[in-house]
Amino acid sequence: MKGKITLKHISKELDVSISTVSKALKDSPEISQETREKVQAFAKLYNYRPNNIALSLKNRKTKNIGVIIPEIVHHFFATVIEGIEQEANASGYNVIICLSSESFDKEVINMEMLANGSIDGFILSLTKETQMKKDYHHLVEVINQGMPLVLFDRIADEIPCDKVVIDDEKGAFDAVNKLIEVGCKKIGLISTVDYVSVGRLRTQGYLKALIKNNIEVDQNLIVKIEDVAHASEMIAPLLDCGVDGVFAVNEAFAMTAINLAHEKGIKIPSQLSVIGFTDGELSKYASPALTTVSQNGHQIGQEAARMLIEKIEEESEVFQTKVVKTKLIVRKSTKN
Amino acid sequence: MKGKITLKHISKELDVSISTVSKALKDSPEISQETREKVQAFAKLYNYRPNNIALSLKNRKTKNIGVIIPEIVHHFFATVIEGIEQEANASGYNVIICLSSESFDKEVINMEMLANGSIDGFILSLTKETQMKKDYHHLVEVINQGMPLVLFDRIADEIPCDKVVIDDEKGAFDAVNKLIEVGCKKIGLISTVDYVSVGRLRTQGYLKALIKNNIEVDQNLIVKIEDVAHASEMIAPLLDCGVDGVFAVNEAFAMTAINLAHEKGIKIPSQLSVIGFTDGELSKYASPALTTVSQNGHQIGQEAARMLIEKIEEESEVFQTKVVKTKLIVRKSTKN
DNA sequence: TTGAAAGCGCTAACAA
DNA sequence: TTGTTAGCGCTTTCAA
């Protein structure tokens, strides 16, 4: 009973040719009813299943899609994968996941590895390092080979391919607008360094909201964090300079701000309103529950998979950029 | 420049046979220095890479490992995947991930799909449904086919294969012991329904700790939650009956208890000590920060991948169960 | 030193 | 109605 049974085994056993078996299993009218039944019964008995690898080689398509993301222990990326997986599975594709672990080199290696026949197309979110270097030769190579690629979240505008993003700028704009609406006058921003595309865009949204409301931009109220390990030390001074509102570009920064406020005896939301980005576990279980900009990772994943599969199966040449809407989820960390 | 170049292309271009090209690229001494150099230069120029699928078919191994987990939007499973991926990558394997989404049927379908040649071995954590049904025919089938399988976390003792678990019972025991040490007299348990193996084991640890310390077990202090959506309603009564300690078998339940306590004006840790399970994001950012039993998902993933790869490459017949140690991480949600 | 041929498992055009 | 053959891309034995 060891090992899988092949057409060859069946053909030998039943004393017919391999192609007869192949056709019989497909219920081809070329084959007599009798033979068909005999073969099918035998195949069923021994639980025959065609070998995926052989089919891939024959058909020159693997029915696998490759996903490369910077990290997986991250609520947002996990939801994206869930979305991709669901959509892919529904169309008969499997998902091969590689982690670039925020390393440019790993991103390149993983792409090369997968590009050598293992998959039919890529879904990818760039590492910070790649965004900083602006070195996209590996993406271009893959595209030139004719392999479809969909970029999401951390993208590069200059790459000719499909993209799925959220409107980071608008999400941030809405959040800061909300802070202004509930009466905040002095609003701090906790962001990432600028080379991370989403951080940069959210920062722009913050600035636009201030400008539109005729609030002067104060650079002292803008904290850009490179190293998450030192987030606390960088955020503390911000809370000490009398802000009454804080917009953070991710959940962790928002939570750090909330916890620091607790320590300093600053009351949320009466003295300080806080809004985060990404509607993950942290936001829901925070106390007070965090008002946040939700980015629907699940939908992003679904859209990305859908676009990719369409490209794989249709080979069109027009590239689209799909913008998934954000939504401000108002909870208890903002006044009113 | 479209499409990948193959040995055939090279052989045609250089007017030598395919096998000569193959050997030359491997620097075989069979081939003259001159030919080798010519072929290698050409291959480099056109960026030749052997086709993974063809290699898989030829070698009858794919260098892929299949991972099936109940969900991915879950810190613990995400860390396990990270561990698997790291270890697998280091040995030249890729990771194909399928989500069973807690559905027995999806688990079966995914296994069958992957078992048909796509991977060299499985790493799997059972769905709740599978654990409830105790129907393991799909696992047995795969094992009978000669495909290695490693089970982790949610396992079934009766399956003959390698396993990686944590000592759930001891982890729970230690946690409850800690509560007793800091002076808790009336300790509640928030657990899952019993058919989930880890929930059952953690419940046992709770019971053992009470018994060992001569504390009478009070069934009213034990809450078993089936549906996470109604966790709050089920936990609230527990807090109303005067407990001074609570042990929850996961982070979410612990956080729900903490937040309910806040609402009810119960002070943590002075009036109520809380300990959770799994050292994830929630525990770290909770206020007060949550004392918790850490289960090192990363290590679990690494061990699982290591065991699987060994089985793939060595074909030994002895099955091991590796127990990864838990550790009590004491933070601010427990007295003293 | 090179190449022909077989084979991994499957499909499909064509021949018998 | 069935079988032969070629081919997907590669490796490897054996013959030239």
Domain ranges for chain A, please list them.
7-45, 56-165+297-324, 168-295
| A259 and chain B in contact, CB less than 8 A | yes
Q: Which helix (H) or strand (E) holds A164?
A: strand A162-166
| Beta-bridge partner residues of B329 | B292
For the stretch A150-207, pLDDT in tens is 999 999 999 999 999 999 999 999 999 999 999 999 999 999 999 988 899 999 999 9
- The string of DSSP codes covering A64-121 is EEEEEES-SSSHHHHHHHHHHHHHHHHTT-EEEEEE-TT-HHHHHHHHHHHHTTT-SE
pLDDT tens, residue by residue, A245-270: 999 999 999 999 999 999 999 999 99
- Name which of B53, B118, B285 is nearest A282 (Cβ-Cβ): B285
CATH of domain B168-295: 3.40.50.2300
**CA atom of A38 to C1′ atom of C16, Å:** 23
- The architecture that CATH gives domain A56-165+297-324 is 3-Layer(aba) Sandwich (3.40)
C-alpha dist (Å) from residue A309 to A70, A123, A178, A304, A312: 22, 10, 38, 9, 5
A8 strand C contact, CB < 7 Å? yes
Strands of the sheet with A245-248, listed across from one edge: A222-225, A187-192, A245-248, A273-277, A291-295, A326-329
pLDDT band of A74, cuts 50, 70, 90: very high
- At residue B189, the pLDDT reads 97
Taking the C1' atom of C2, which residue's CA lies nearest? B20
The beta-carbon neighbor of A75 closest among B73, B144, B286 is: B73
Q: Report, as an integer, the average pLDDT of A131-141.
A: 96
CB atoms within 10 A of CB B158: 9
pLDDT by residue (tens digit) across A284-332? 999 899 999 999 999 999 999 999 999 999 878 899 999 999 999 999 9
A152 CA – D2 C1', rounded, Å? 52
Please tell me if residue B82 touches chain A, with a CB cutoff of 8 Å. Answer: yes
B144 CA from D4 C1′ (Å): 35
pTM over the 0.85 mark: yes
- Name the residue facing B62 among A53, A85, A287 (closest C-beta): A53
Confidence at residue A117, expressed as pLDDT on a 0 to 100 scale: 94
Give pLDDT, residue B2. Answer: 64
The C-alpha atoms of residue A198 and residue A152 are separated, in whole angstroms, by 11
- Preferred mutation among B72, B232, B300 to probe A, highest tally of A CBs within 10 A: B72
| pLDDT interval class at B1 (50, 70, 90) | very low
Integer distance in angstroms from CA B29 to C1' C10?
A: 34
Q: State yes or no: pLDDT of B326 exceeds 90.
A: yes
State how far the Cα of B146 lies from the Cα of B142, in Å rounded to an integer: 7
All residues of chain A having their beta carbon less than 8 Å from the beta carbon of residue B74 are 78
Phi, psi of B98 (to 5 degrees): -125, 145
List CB contacts (< 8 A) between A73 and chain B: 75, 78-79, 82
Counting residues of chain B whose pLDDT is more than 90, the rounded percentage is: 94
Footprint of strand D on the protein (CB under 7 A): A 15-20, 23, 29-35, 54, 57-58, 60; B 6-8, 18-19, 22-23, 25-26, 30, 50-51, 54-55, 57-58
> Is A62 within 8 Å of chain B by CB?
yes
Query: At residue B188, does pLDDT exceed 70?
Result: yes
Q: Is the CB of A35 under 7 A from strand C?
A: no
Among residues B180, B205, B202, B176, the alpha carbon closest in space to that of B191 is found at B202
pLDDT of residue A2: 64
* A56-165+297-324 against A168-295: fold identical: yes
Which residues in chain A are closer than 8 Å to B2, comparing Cβ atoms?
144-146
CA dist B126 → A244, B81, B135 (Å): 48, 15, 11
Nearest to B114 by CA among A68, A10, A307, A89: A89
Judge whether B105 is closer than 8 Å to chain A, CB to CB. no
Mean pLDDT (chain A) is 95
**CA of A171 and C1' of D13: distance in angstroms?**
65
Region A104-121 average pLDDT: 96
Q: What is the pLDDT of residue A1?
A: 45
Which of B59, B94, B106, B112 to substitute to test the interface with A, most A CBs within 10 Å? B94
User: How far is CA B134 from its chain centroid?
Assistant: 20
For A27, other C-beta atoms within 10 Å of its C-beta total: 12
Q: CB distance A85–B75 less than 8 Å?
A: no
Amino acid identity at B238: L
Q: What is the mean pLDDT of chain B?
A: 95
* Percent of chain B residues past pLDDT 70, beyond the cut: 99
Nearest CA-CA partner of A187 in A208, A206, A165? A206
d(Cα A27, Cα A43) in Å, to the nearest integer?
13
Beta strands B162-166; A326-329: pairing state: unpaired
